[in-house]
Structure formats: C-alpha cells, structure tokens
Copies of this chain bind each other. A is one copy, B any other.
Amino acid sequence: MRERDIIANYFVPLASAEPGAFALRDDAAVLDIPNGQQLVLTTDSVIEGVHVLPHASPQQFVQKLIRRNLSDLAAMGATPWRYLLNLCAPRETADGWFAAFAQTLKAEQQQFGMVLAGGDTTLGGTHVHLTLTALGLTDGPALTRRGARAGDTIFVSGTIGDAALGLTMLQDDADANGPWVERYHRPQPRLALGKALRGNATSAMDCSDGLWLDLQRLCDASGVGARVELEKVPISDATRQLLDAAPDADSRSALWHMLVTGGDDYELIFTAPAAQAQALQEMARFTGTPITAIGQITEELHLRYCDARGEHAFSMQSGWEY
C-alpha cells in the first residue's frame, strides 16, 4: 500500500469531525480556537525499541503514543481537543498493521474526545517512528511546575513503579503479561484530576521519567527542595507483595530504588498547601483518582527521602531522560 492509500483508507475517517482538517487533503489544517480558550500544545515521539519494545503491536504503539502525550495535557489541566500524527513505518509493513493501528486510534480518540487534524505518513526505514502533537484547551490559567512553595504537601496520583516492573518483565520475556505489563503498555492519563487541580494545586507535572527525577524537575522549576517519606509512596498491592517477599533489607532497598527511578508511571505529581489536603482528597475521589501525600516541599534546595534506615539524598542515576 502506498502512503496516499494508507491516508485515504485509515486516517481520513478519523479526521471527519474537524472540517478544518479538509479531509487531510490540503497543505495544512485551519482551526478555530473556541472563544475564551487558550491552546495547550505538547508533542512526543514513540520510537520502536526506545519508547516501546521492538515489534510492539500496533495497539501498544498507539496507546503509548496517545497517552504519553495526553499525560502532558493532564499535567497542565487541559482538555484534549485535536491532534496531528507523523507516522514512519518500514515499506514492508503489512496492511493489517495499519488497519489495527487506525482501529486503536479511533477507539482512543473517541475515549479522549480528540479528532485527527493532520500529519504526515512516510514509508521507509527499518522501524516504526511515531510523533504525536496533542492540542488541548483550557479556559483558565494552566497548571505549571513553577508554583510549589515551602511547606506545601507533595502528592502523587495512583501508584508508582508498576510500569517499571512491567518493563523489566517484558525485557526478560517479550510475551509477559499481567497488571505490571499492562501498566507499561497502557498508561492512564490523569485528565480529570489535572482539570480539577487547576486553581487548587500550586504546581503539577506528569511523572514519566521516574518519581525522583521528575520531582527534582518540579523542584528546580519552583526553586525549592523536597523531603519524601519513602514508605508513603503509593504502590500497588501486587508490588507490595513483591516488596514483602524480598529476602533482605538490601534487596528491598534495591526494589524501592527501581520503583522510584524506573519511569513510565504517567501519574501526576503535584503540590498544595497542607491545609487543603482534605479538600484535595475529596476532589480526587470525585474524579475517581486516588491521590497520596508523600512528603513536603522544603526551602532548602536539597531533595531527600527518608526510610527505615534514615534520611538520604535522591539518587538519580537510573532516572530516564527522554
């Protein structure tokens, strides 16, 4: 199949709800930003062998691509709106691959309320290389990483470290499955929570490269430090069982290190005055997203965590830097 057949067969139907996409048949899209809205723009690539495993399924490509970008919109408190897709796939890619890719894309754009507005398609090269540009809208000030203040409570949504464990399992066995692997393949962008945090959190970002590294970035942007209680970092029941089964303190400690530096969590890290903790918990419950207080923002720029062994500096060596 040639580029234009792929576009006509698979991508044009995904653009039908946006007249300004001109059925993907013009040089550019022309979009009317709804009155009173700001545009929130993010772009991330998903490259075979880097962000997904070699020979990932079309479903895995699409879900990682869409949700990785939407997690960035969630972190700004924006609502997904439109997207552009750049697809490069080897010339020998089967038609069925594109069909499955587009089918998943359709399900994802319906779930998240987005419409395809443009992109480009190239056949060539030896692996799949995707870029998605997500356009979101916000009708008030977006969340940023910049407002954390000393004394603020640090929260994270969901659980941390499952996806990193999933990736380890997949590296051992490409056919591994189960909840950890599912977390790696299929992030859950925290869009409802992000929207609810606008005007309530002092800072927010998405946690994609490991809790330690991303919290460091949030602190850098806000000009503050942090102190985290490791035992409060929320982990799934399955991960808890794994920790409990660890033979000694050293291996438990190594596992914790992996959980907080492994990445691919796509949870939100955010801060708010301690007095608002209760209200935030209510709000989070309303959006169906568990949140957990894990520590405090400090005036000293150091980033430290404490566990049963005492207080330690963050170790970032294993944080991912995409």
Contact = CB atoms under 8 A, between A and B. Distances in A.
Interface in A94-153: 117-120, 122, 124-125, 127, 129, 131, 133-136, 138, 142, 144-146
A120 B45 contact: yes
Count of identical protomers in the assembly? 2
Given A118-B41, A146-B22, A125 B47 contact: yes
A206 interface: yes
A62 interface: no
A245 interface: no
Contacts of A50: 122, 124-125
Nearest to A72: B27
Contact of A38 (B30, B43, B119): B30
A134 B29 CA distance: 11
17 contacts: A3-B321, A22-B146, A25-B217, A26-B145, A27-B42, A27-B72, A28-B42, A29-B41, A41-B118, A43-B120, A45-B131, A47-B124, A47-B125, A50-B122, A86-B131, A88-B129, A129-B129
Interface of A: 2-4, 22, 25-33, 38-45, 47, 49-50, 71-73, 75-76, 78, 84, 86, 88, 117-120, 122, 124-125, 127, 129, 131, 133-136, 138, 142, 144-146, 205-206, 217, 220-221, 321-322
